[in-house]
Chains A and B, each alone.
Chain A
Amino acid sequence: MFPGKHEDRRFKTARFEAICSLVLTVLYFMWWYGFAYHGTDSGPENYHYFMGFPGWFFFSCVLGPFLFCFIAWAMVNLLFKEVSLSPKEEDDGRD
């Protein structure tokens, strides 16, 4: 369709990174949902406590976000590529 034209490799990188970000969001959702609703329907009298918080709250809202900050850091460092942002793709792929 476009003789002599290739897809800009940086846009492939961007698409891959967008998918990674979505996947990480899904993982966070599963963590958040799993801990928030696991065993909490039985009522507060059966709760366990961690650091003063009800267990579901500690894992879902305190530990979870902290952990995912770390995972986000790992994702960016391991999977994301540094690319130039200039209008045309350059050979070295660096700023």
Chain B
Amino acid sequence: MEGINVSVIVPVALYLIGIYVMAVYCNKRLSRSDDFMEEYFIGSRGMGGFVLAMTLVATYTSASSFIGGPGVAYKMGLGWVLLAMIQVPTAWLTLGVLGKKFAIVARRIGAVTVNDVFRARYESPAVVIAGSVSLLAFFVAAMTAQFIGGARLFQGMTGLSYNTGLAIFAVTVIAYTTVGGFRAVALTDALQGVVMIVGTTALLFGIVSMGGGMENVVATLRDINPDLITPHGPDGFISKPFILSFWVLVCLGVVGLPHTAVRCMGYRDSRSMHGAMVIGTFVLAFVMLGMHLCGALGRAVVPGIEVGDTIMPILSLKVLPPVVAGIFLAGPLAGVMSTIDSQLILASATIVKDIYVNYVSPESVSSERGIKKVRIMSLAATAMIGTVVLLAAFRPPELIVWINIFAFGGMQAAFLWPLVLGLYWKRANGKGALASMVTGVFTYITMASTMKNFMGMNVIIPTLLVGLVAFVLVSLWSKRPDDSVIDLFWME
């Protein structure tokens, strides 16, 4: 991969320009809007079914689905594709569980972040602050992983250096998110979702035809190592406790990711939600199966690649004609960007809305000057967090899939129970939520850093159990929530 690959750069450049145009359009909408915060942080709750489905899928499929995951599939074979398919229910599950209740409650209280809902439900500043702090900390880790993934990809395919790739890529994401807000994020996500589908199809088609048909490809895999076509992987690496614990980490627990949860209050009407459940499931299943299958089957076509994160770029350059490879590159890049943008906008909302407006200067939203200040702060916060993450990504650690999984688990430890029990258990209260967040995050960090797994399972399992027990015990122990809260969350 010597020198710069011009025929790959051209389609990518066109794609990036398209994204900038969208951001400018959204900024026009933003300046016309009556309620700045509703528009900037939640797009005035106007998403239709298709956009909601795409933004949910695009937000959720990240660098690890496009680079890390297929990279592991290359080494583990079809067993790792089996693991990836655990994610199929996430679209219907997230929307079905949070869905209508979350959307209605959010409209009642004018919430634009998950912490807004916590503030109304638990009436406890400590819960909101714990939520804000863990959100910012885990988001910064997750976004760093994404930036590294995106930059590696850029480097691998265009031939530009890692730092140049990182700069171009990161500046694009930060710029369109800062300028356009949530609407830009959702619209670019929709575009990115389409690009991901096209890219996946192209690569899969390329690999299978180069390998001489599916039968031949699978036969070649079997000749390399028969374990590659079993559900257990080479040397039985993918054991049952290991893979089953991923049902919690990448399927059930996904309901607790704040950046996907916030999408569940931003859609227009219940018809949009119904449509999104179906479209989202279909797109997610297709992209996950396609991408991981590419990684697994790629081993038959281009054997002997060593570094996990470089497998997808190398594979696509070998298999596809350069211009098509450029379009393909846009796919994973899209997956990466669309995860960062939604985390960025939510991190910014957390600083401005959850912390500044709630606790530092509540009067700022009532005056003309205050609103202007909030406006400037919002843009500045988005740009600033983006820059911090960019700087962190200039010194990349080795395998990004693990950082991402770590941040993933941390967010679930903090948010899953307060979200789900807050919506469906009347007795849940602020002390319980706080206990659950603190013990959950603490358990997760200590266990994840001291032991690789817990009796063969991912450490998210004991983490969520501890969090749940703490939540229930402390809630039952302390006094029930006020009637006004029950009114807000249950009564007409």
Contacts and interface: CB of A to CB of B under 8 A. Distances in A.
B88 A28 contact: yes
B255 to A, nearest CB: 10
B269 interface: yes
A61 B82 contact: yes
B100 A24 contact: no
Residue among B217, B240, B270, B483 having the largest count of chain A Cβ atoms under 10 Å? B270
Contacts of A14: 99-101, 104
Contacts of B285: 65-66, 68-69
A8 to B, nearest CB: 4
B490 A7 contact: yes
Q: For chain A, which range describes its interface: under 10, 10 to 19, 20 to 34, or 35 or more residues?
A: 35 or more
Contacts of A68: 88-89, 281, 285
A60 B92 contact: no
A61 B226 CA distance: 19
Interface string B151-175: 0000000000000000000000000
Interface string A59-91: 011101110110011011100111111111100
B278 A69 contact: yes
A12 B483 CA distance: 19
A40 B236 CA distance: 12
A52 B213 contact: yes
A7 B492 contact: yes
Interface string A24-63: 1100110010001100100111010101111011001110
A40 B226 contact: no
B104 A10 contact: yes
Given A2-B491, A37-B231, A69-B282, A52 B215 contact: yes
Interface of B: 78, 81-82, 85-86, 88-89, 92-93, 95-97, 99-101, 103-104, 107-108, 213-215, 217-218, 222, 226-227, 229-232, 240, 247, 251-252, 269-271, 274, 277-278, 281-282, 285, 289, 424, 483, 486-487, 489-492
9 contacts: A10-B104, A22-B93, A52-B215, A57-B81, A65-B85, A76-B274, A85-B103, A89-B492, A95-B269
